[in-house]
Structure 1
Amino acid sequence: MIKADIGNTAGRIWQYLDKNGESTLADIKRDLMLRGSAVRMALGWLARENKIFFYGDEDNLSIILLY
């Protein structure tokens, strides 16, 4: 996966969270039809930019968009 693809996926996730609010990792993967690795890389991008907040445990991870 190239950097541009990761950035595009991060943008899709940001828009999803903006529209749907707090979501689980499983919801994001299912609703956006993304592979786990693509989601994790994009979430890392968003986390690095302080755009999201994680809470919960590894089995039930929730993500909140920070504005």
Structure 2
Amino acid sequence: MNKNLIGLNAGKVWQLLNNNKRWSYSELKEAVGLSDRDLNAAIGWLAREDKIDFETEGGNDRLFLCVNVYIG
């Protein structure tokens, strides 16, 4: 695994999250087709870039695209 591959995988995940749906980890994993290791690295990349957010609903975590608007 390298940073380039993690970035490419993060792009795949971001494309799926772009539909404004709140995804469970298992739904996302099945849709994107990545291993746990690769998916976790991609999620970490997107979280570090503040592109995604998380919510817990009924004990289940959900991931979704985070939209940041800066007015300056």
TM-score range, shorter chain: 0.7 to 0.9
Hey, what's the Cα distance between the residues in 2 that align with 1:20 and 1:30? 18
Q: Return 5+ residue gaps in structure 2 as ranges.
A: 68-72
Structure 1 segments, 4+ long, off by >2 Å, are: none
Q: Which amino acid aligns with 2:3?
A: K
Q: Return 5+ residue gaps in structure 1 as ranges.
A: none
Q: Which amino acid aligns with 1:17?
A: L
Structure with bigger gyration radius: 2
The match for 2:9 is 9
Note the C-alpha offset of 1:61. Answer: 2.0
The match for 2:55 is 55
Deviations 1:11-54 (A, max 9, x none): 00001000362111111100111111111111000000100011
Hey, what's the Cα distance between the residues in 1 that align with 2:61 and 2:23? 9
The match for 2:46 is 46
Across the aligned residues of Structure 1 and Structure 2, the Cα RMSD in angstroms comes to: 1.6
How many percent identity over aligned positions? 36
- Specify which structure has the higher proportion of helix: 1
- What count of residue pairs does the alignment treat as equivalent? 66
- Specify which structure has the higher proportion of strand: 2
